[in-house]
Structure 1
Amino acid sequence: MNQKRIKPEIIATEMIVKTRLFQVENVNLRFSNGVETQYERIKTREYGAVLVVPLLDRDTVLLIREYTVGTERYELALPKGKIESGEDMLVAANRELMEEVGYGAKHLTYLTSLTIAPGHISHYTHVIIAQDLYEQRLLGDEPEEIEVVPWPLEKLSALFAREDCTEARSIAALLMVKEKLNQGVT
């Protein structure tokens, strides 16, 4: 079945709940076959977020360990944060890197954009590779100091086997970067 799909028409949207981070909306849709239905979606800020893959060298990535209220534990993952209004994604990536890891990057490369649960959440995370790092700390909005953990890229399977490394965007980004490095691309 290789026919072009026609996007459903949005008939109406209604905000149900709004917080400082997102809003929940009812979305009424009409599909091209005439079926009408209602979905709920979490609408996030239009600017999205960045997830940074800081390469200390070709073989070592810098991870962070910070508290995640969603899982109520400390999680080992890549640094990430929101893009501010009017901020370029590469500038946001370098800022987050300086705030969370204590390094800046001379070379920042956009890799891809990821979604999580796109059937319900409008959020995009832009994956940025950071190379040629230099020490530079900016004050961030974190409530406690974040632990920085260097990790050898050759031991990603051991990282993914850990109970405190489950953040899917970080896992996907690390696998993509390792593949690029193995191909000699970055």
Structure 2
Amino acid sequence: MVNVKLFEETLNEEKIYQGKFINLVKQKVKLPDGKESTREIVRHPGAVAILAFIDEDTIIMVEQFRKPLDRILLEIPAGKLEKGEDIEKCGRRELEEETGYIAKDFTYLGKIATTPGFTDEYIYFYKAEDLHKGKIGGDEDEFINVKKISLNKVKEMIKSGEIIDGKTLAVFMLM
């Protein structure tokens, strides 16, 4: 079996769209065989997601309406990194803003590339334990219901297709 060169050289990049927190770029690339092609890439600052334990059998989840899917999803708490923000500080901030909880213990679990076919976004995962009440906050345009759900119920909801959020599914592989 022969190993094929896989790297694509970027020849140029054109900004197509600059949004509030995502940008779309179009790259001209040189393929491994020498031919040229284009790639459309969504630039994203990254995010942090938190598996927050109330006790050993119960986690905190958030329910939000997600416009791209036009439906309400049940997810683990998460939020986008601000420019230059420390990853752990972002996770702690998002946990408190979305759920009203602060964690004494905050353990890094790993990261995923969410959809590397079109975005450079990474989501970093933390496990939060020894929780106590903080202040719920959040963005002006963010409406969230906080839920406490047993791990067994979450696993049932994943199997039945009730929970479909990718980061929520992924965190259980990192535990």
**Does structure 2 retain, via aligned residues, the 8 Å contact 1:74–1:164?**
no
Aligned to 1:108: 106
**Does structure 1 retain, via aligned residues, the 8 Å contact 2:100–2:137?**
no
TM-score, with normalisation over the residues of structure 2?
Answer: 0.90
Give unpaired runs (5+ residues) of structure 2: none
**Does structure 2 retain, via aligned residues, the 8 Å contact 1:95–1:138?**
no
Q: Aligned residues, how many? A: 175
TM-score, with normalisation over the residues of structure 1?
Answer: 0.85
2:141 to 122, 140, 143: 143
SS of the residue 1:165 aligns to:
coil
- Between the aligned partners of 2:74 and 2:6, the Cα distance in structure 1 is 41
Aligned CA distance change for structure 1 residues 71 and 78 (closer, same or farther; 3 Å): same
Aligned to 1:12: 12
- Please, which moves more after superposition, 94-103 or 114-123? 114-123
Amino acid of the structure 2 residue aligned with 1:11: L
CA RMSD in angstroms, aligned pairs only: 1.9
Question: Deviation string for 1:62-97 (max 9, x for gaps)?
Answer: 111111111122211111101122321111111111
Aligned to 2:27: 27
SS of the residue 1:160 aligns to:
helix
Give unpaired runs (5+ residues) of structure 1: 178-186
Answering whether residue 122 of structure 2 is matched by residue 124 of structure 1, we say: yes
- Between the aligned partners of 1:143 and 1:121, the Cα distance in structure 2 is 24
Aligned to 2:44: 44
**Does structure 2 retain, via aligned residues, the 8 Å contact 1:22–1:42?**
yes
Q: Percent identity?
A: 28
Aligned CA distance change for structure 1 residues 133 and 72 (closer, same or farther; 3 Å): same
